Structure 1
Amino acid sequence: MKITVRRGDSLWAYSQLFRVPLQLIVDSNPNVNPNALQAGQTVDIPRYAARTHRIASGQSLWSIASSGGLPVDALPLLNPTAQPNALAVGQLIRVPSRVTSLVVQTARPYGYDELQEDLNRLADIYPFMRHRSIGSSVMGKPIPEIRVGAGRKEVHADASFHGNEWITTPVLVRFLNEYLLALTNNGNIRGLVMSPFYLATTLSLVPMVNPDGVDLVVNGLPAEEPYRSDALAINGGSYDFSGWKANIRGVDLNNQFPALWAREAARGPRVPSPRDYAGAEPLTEPESQAIADLTRSSDFSRVLAFHTQGQVIFWGFEGLEPPESATLAAEFARVSGYRPVGYADSSAGYKDWFIQDWRRPGFTIEVGRGVNPLPLSQLEEIYQQSLGILLAALYQ
């Protein structure tokens, strides 16, 4: 919610007025000098959305604020040109509305448009949430990364490396919404107060690594050529894309990383395929390149890649993982009920590469049970299990 600064105002005063932590207001306005506010400039206030209200007979700014349980001084900040003592019947003003519940709608088939819709809604209400593109998919869809927090410890989680594992995306988006809501309402999640995590940790989320593959599974063939014809040919002429894991070019993005890549490539398909084709060489695809570049330019202390299915947590790679990986995996297993597995007969995955090159904890978390794509009926159970893991990644 944007307000207009008055002479003598301060961000600290806004923090007191709107009951929002000062740090969140400062972080919501990175281009504003907190020690030199200028009258007339606009400032973003998290936790609130502005709605339009039409003045009725006998109403004043103060009566509107009082009836809505709002700070009396908030309305003039949203309506700097309105005359408080001369409001006209039918006049439109802006009224702040506290956001005290989730705003995302994740219990639905969740493609790229749904992700963008929810992220835009969250960015409007929580402007301290940093939202940027780390690259683009084959079809040109920007791949969003979200960052929340001011701490030195960087924790990364991503989802939907595989098209038919799209149910992992709404898991991360709902967690993001719950985290933002708790931060701005001085709340907690499962009894854990969130504000200390904001100050100690920077959370990085890439909710949809493979937007083209997800849309292919959720929405069917794209209209654009050559992607439509090529994907249909790769799928053997079938319009059933429920088994499709790859990106739109038929490359499995989680077999793309230079961690014993040749071994993985040798046992998979040699040509583009709905699943398991590792590409002609490592990191040929823009989506895997985007994640690799993000990781190289960051200082992640641990990474979590959410996949489906099996209710398993993979945490090792060739004995290169640090001792703390086992400790973290045990805590993840405790809070989720999933089974921790140190080693699996696979390679060239994102967590494999992270462990190999950084010698830091990396995890592949296989949520849910059944045949991909998992049904929405599992989403709530999957979310509650994943929530424990995501919280543990912050507090451990």
Structure 2
Amino acid sequence: MNLYGYRELEQDLDHIKSLRTPMSELGTMGCSVLGRKIPYIRIGKGPIQLHVNAGMHANEWLNVPCLMYFVKSYMAALEEQQDWQGCLSDGWAEQVTLWVVPMLNPDGIELVLNGANAHPFSTELLEMNGGNPDFSGWKANIRGIDLNDQFPAHFYEEAKRRSVTCPGPRDYGGEHPLTEPESRALAEWTMDKKFDMIIALHSQGEEIYWNYRDYEPAFSEAWAQQLAAATGYAPVKLTESDAGYKDWFIQEYGRPGFTVETGLGTNPLPVHQYIPIAAEVERLMVSAIRLLLR
């Protein structure tokens, strides 16, 4: 697989449109700082609502094609009426509505993949990156705000803990929660959909974070163990970590939420990890749907 940016995602979405998969929908749940549409994919029409997102951190872009691999496999099975993973015989699409946001941070991902040459914010970006023209390690959105430090779950405690005081490549959550269009769109969309479970794909470490300050349901650890069994990852109980999307979701709704750290190594993960991670993400999502159908 080659590099996968916004153009490649648009090509995949065009392919999905051509499938005419029943019980599916493509749409836009918001826009980035630079006006790029943030697409969503809905699969199914059931009362149980499951959400998964990827590409929140720019240098974790490899999760985007890995998630899309699962999406395309599932949608192709529905279109062709094939009982892939038991999706037809178990009635997944009739019972579960899956909402997928494959790339939350398109501006940041394009920066990581293409650099700041000829970029409208090139001067500011170089300054935020310490004069370094290599943006491969950039996590934040195009304004230098870390989107997964933007959510109103003990936000100011997390900001004090990180002690990063200005925009840059990573770990600066902004002056206040939800100042960025990408994080704000995700929060508003979540409040509208009221998901029963969320999964946020990140990298790296092959770990599954399942708790938040004891707001999580009593069964969250057991569910994390099931997801871990499906992927080979380790379930981990986190402390002293706040302001993430999963944290906010658990705090607000008391429902199961999971941050899943795919792969091993240094971000951006090497492209050769695409095949194993795509397989792990597929097993993760199949396991998540089956947990919700119990």
TM-score category by the smaller chain? over 0.9
Mapped pair 1:261 → 2:155: yes
Shift of 1:342: 2.0
- Find the counterpart in structure 1 of residue 41 from structure 2: 146
Aligned equivalents of 1:363, 1:134: Cα separation in 2: 21
Match of 2:230 among 335, 354, 359: 335
Q: Is the 8 A contact 1:197 1:394 kept in 2?
A: yes
Deviations 1:164-219 (A, max 9, x none): 00001011111110001111222233455466101101000000010001010111
Q: Is 2:163 the counterpart of 1:285?
A: no
CA distance in 2, matches of 1:126, 1:162: 31
The one-letter code sitting in structure 1 at the alignment partner of 2:122 is: R
Which residue type is aligned with residue 53 of structure 2?
A: D
Structure number with higher relative contact order (C-alpha < 8 Å, ≥ 6 residues apart): 2
Give the greater-gyration-radius structure (CA): 1
| C-alpha RMSD of the superposition | 1.3
Q: Shift of residue 343 of structure 1?
A: 2.0
Task: Work out whether 1:210 is the aligned partner of 2:105.
Answer: yes
Equivalent residues in 2 for 1:191-230 (5 A)? 193=88, 196-221=91-116, 223-225=118-120, 227-230=121-124
Q: What is the TM-score normalised by the length of structure 2?
A: 0.95
Answer with 305-314 or 125-134: which moved more.
125-134
Residues 390 and 373 (structure 1 numbering): CA distance in 2 closer, same or farther, change over 3 Å? Answer: same
2:275 counterpart of 1:384: no
CA displacement, residues 284-305 of structure 1 (integer Å, 9 cap, x when unaligned): 0000001001101002000000
Cα distance in structure 2, aligned partners of 1:306 and 1:332: 13
In structure 2, relative to structure 1, the CA distance for the partners of 1:192 and 1:232 (3 Å cut) is same
1:372 aligned partner: 267
Does the 8 Å contact 2:59/2:138 carry over to 1? yes
Separation in structure 2 between the aligned mates of residue 282 and residue 222 of structure 1, nearest angstrom: 30
Out of 340-349 and 210-219, give the one that drifted further: 340-349
For residue 201 of structure 2, what is the aligned residue in structure 1? 306
Q: Distance in 2 between matches of 1:356 and 1:222?
A: 41
Q: Match of 1:374, as an amino acid?
A: L
* 1:183 aligned residue (73, 78, 85): 78
> Which residue identity lines up with residue 266 of structure 1 in the other structure?
K
Does the Cα contact within 8 Å between 2:263 and 2:277 map onto a contact in 1? Answer: yes
**Amino acid corresponding to residue 238 of structure 1 in structure 2:** N
CA contact (8 A) 2:213 2:239 kept: no
Which structure shows the higher helix fraction?
2
SS at match of 1:300: coil
Query: Does residue 125 in structure 1 map to residue 19 in structure 2?
Result: yes
Partner Cα separation in structure 2 for residue 180 and residue 259 of structure 1: 35
Q: Secondary structure at the match of 2:248?
A: helix
Q: How many residues align?
A: 289
* Residues 292-334 of structure 1: CA deviation (Å, up to 9, x unaligned): 0110100200000000000000000001100121121011001
Against the structure 1 CA distance between its residues 254 and 143, is the aligned structure 2 distance closer, same or farther, given a 3 Å change threshold?
same
Cα shift at 1:344: 3.4
The residue type paired with residue 290 of structure 1 is A
The alpha-carbon distance between structure 1 residues 219 and 363, as it changes in their structure 2 partners (threshold 3 A), is: same
In the TM superposition, 1:82-93 aligns within 5 A as none
Structure 1: gaps (5+ residues) = 1-106
Aligned partners of 1:285, 1:339: CA distance in 2, in Å?
A: 32
% identical equivalent positions: 44
